[in-house]
Chains A and B, each alone.
Chain A
Amino acid sequence: MKYLLQRIAFYLFTAWAAITLNFFIPRMIPGDPVKSLLSRFQGQMSSQAIDSLYVLFGLDKNASIWEQYFDYWKQLFHGDLGLSFTAFPSPVSEVIGSALPWTLALVGITTIISFFLGTGLGVLAGWRRGSWVDGLLPATTFLSSVPYFWLGLLAIFLLAGPNSIFPSGGGYTPGLIPAWDQYFIPSAIQHSLLPALTILISSVSGWILSMRNMMVTVAAEDYITVAHAKGLSEKRVALSYAARNALLPNVSGFALSLGFIVGGTLLVEIVFSYPGLGFLLFRAVTAKDYPLMQGIFLVITISVLVANLIADIAYLLLDPRTRKEG
């Protein structure tokens, strides 16, 4: 329990650090970014939006930096992330709210599948060191070096097309209204197949490799030899003795690499014009929509922190040593 509390305290601290970072980044922009933005959005902004921009960039001369910082927190607790000016007059929180489920579904499901598939194959590769599975290692190295988004481009080029079952972009067939019905759900699944496949192919190899290396390390331990000497079946030794112990570092590795994976999947969304956070971030960057960018960064960071916490709880369940009091 103490372990869990420590982790929660750490994540709270990290969340605070990320939010503070988020507060200061727009204030480091040299010059007066609001003026240049105003000239780009000539006459399309309400005075309220302009005010909120001045507050965002810290150009609100009436308030000290501390007052601004406290105001920022006050706004956050109200769920107010400012106004987006590409989707004007929608608030940022609303824009992000509509994109978040797409990313959670796509990235969440594929990451979990990739972890289990990769770990399984890694157990096999590590246990059967020297068999044909080792021959796959260079191939997985190559695949994990390919940028996610380029693999996506290739997938669209090779597999998608007017006559293909894979659509080349979007989250659902245009014209459908997002709802839980028999028209929308199959269309959404069909559109997510190719992005999911891309993420799966490029992320699975990392898990295979790390699990293989852990298995190779664990397979040389004395308790494995003892298990063999007791005459236990090969399968039991491999799974209950070797894999169970090799899994622990992989689970903590899972937590640590989540940030990398999320970064990569955002790009896949961009390539496939998938209506998730990545594509939204891309549009925000292109339009220099700073409030939206900041909001997306915050939401992604918090999601990764929550996922980390879940991985920690899984670790707690898997490793009895962490449950020991004192």
Chain B
Amino acid sequence: MTIPTSSIEQVIPEQGAMAQPDATPPGKAKRSRFRFVSSGKALTGIVILGIYILFAIIGPWVAPYAPDARSKDLVSPPSGAHWLGTTHLGQDVLSQLLDGTRTVMVVGLAAGAMATILSVLIGVTAGYLGGGLDESLSALSNVFLVIPALPLVIIVTAAAPGGGAVLVALIIGATSWAWNARVLRAQTLSLRRRDYIEAARATGEKTWRIILFEIMPNLTAIIASGFVGTVIFAVTSEITLAFIGIGADTGWNWGTILFWAQSQQALAQGAWWWFVPAGLAIAFLGTALSLINFGIDEFVSPRLRSAGKTKIKTASGHTVRMRVGFTPVLKSTPVVRSKEAAK
């Protein structure tokens, strides 16, 4: 249920209020493409995501028990034998969690990839070709944007029984591309009037070549950020579906654990180990993905970065707040308290 945190104006730096001169020297363009990793937020996010992907690969093998193997310890709290306790049938919660990681990640990434492909196809085509095609494609994405996605996913999945994880991923992907398509269309619209695109057109390059080699590379950041955002949405939707008991035949995922915890009165029995780990797993995954997205956003528009210390004390005891675009006029010189000044 992530609310899109950046408006189109923020994602697209070259438009309107966000117009900024490109300060990167031309020679360094290649290196700066991956520089967003150097921001603390993005790095933290990538490390956490890496851990999740690792567990998605090795999870089912390192799990101490089979996820649905029963034992005699019913609803027992965490212990040496069961690190995260057991369920009402004596199943090991940790094993279910590890086993579920793979389904969650596969569905999330597959749905994200599908939505991204759709949004690129629809958004870039609409933005570049324009005209009547643009009108109808924009209307289509606006319709999908306004219709509440989760209820739609619920009724479609409920109508398609026995599809498994792939079908769930397809349905989520097919319903969640609209926001990205809209953002991509807006950016393509601004790109297609640039000089270098006009030049490419004038030299007679084919339309598909212009789109693929002139426009697409400039959309990389937006596409990446859209992909990450869709993965967040897909993961929560998938877990939600499992939690309300649809698509239960997709194997264990974190939502299934929560479904059983809820239906078997884990709350009333005080069995916190049953539902807390799964929720934390979702929350950390979501946080990691959001952090990566902030990294991309801040890489694209540096103003969004959290500022360092902006308060300055003057000799006369006044505090002055430094602000972008505004140079305070001080009656007395500020006291510089950085380490360099002390030396």
Chain A residues in 8 Å Cβ range of B152: 21, 297
Option from B1, B232, B283 in Cβ contact (under 8 Å) with A142: B283
Q: Is A308 located at the chain interface by the 8 A CB criterion?
A: yes
Q: Is B18 located at the chain interface by the 8 A CB criterion?
A: yes
A286 touching B245, Cβ below 8 Å: yes
Chain A residues in 8 Å Cβ range of B154: 281, 285, 293, 297
A260 touching B3, Cβ below 8 Å: yes
Interface of chain B, helix or strand or loop or mixed?
Answer: helix
- Distance, CA A262 to CA B154, complexed state (A): 13
Q: Is A179 located at the chain interface by the 8 A CB criterion?
A: no
Option from A148, A153, A221, A264 in Cβ contact (under 8 Å) with B17: A221
Option from B17, B179, B289, B290 in Cβ contact (under 8 Å) with A218: B17
Beyond A26-B159, A290-B159, is A146–B149 a contact (Cβ under 8 Å)? no
Interface of chain A, helix or strand or loop or mixed?
Answer: helix
Binds A, one of B68-76, B102-110, B140-148, B210-218: B140-148
A157 touching B243, Cβ below 8 Å: no
State how many angstroms separate the Cβ of B231 from the closest Cβ of chain A: 12
How many chain B residues touch A (CB < 8 A): the figure is 73
Chain B residues in 8 Å Cβ range of A253: 3-4, 7
Interface centre among B3, B152, B279, B308 (most CB of A within 10 A): B3
Q: Is A110 located at the chain interface by the 8 A CB criterion?
A: no
- Distance, CA A286 to CA B285, complexed state (A): 28
Chain A residues in 8 Å Cβ range of B145: 256, 259
A145 touching B283, Cβ below 8 Å: yes
A147 touching B326, Cβ below 8 Å: no
Interface centre among B6, B154, B246, B321 (most CB of A within 10 A): B154
B239 touching A203, Cβ below 8 Å: no
Beyond A25-B155, A228-B326, is A150–B5 a contact (Cβ under 8 Å)? no
Binding site for B on A (CB under 8 A): 10-11, 13-14, 17-18, 21-22, 25-26, 28-29, 128-131, 134, 137-138, 141-142, 144-151, 153-154, 156-157, 168, 202-203, 206-207, 209-210, 213-214, 216-222, 224-225, 228, 249-250, 252-253, 256-264, 266-267, 270-271, 281-282, 285-286, 288, 290, 293-294, 296-297, 300-301, 304-305, 308
Top 5 closest A-B pairs, CB basis? A145-B286, A263-B150, A206-B3, A264-B1, A150-B279
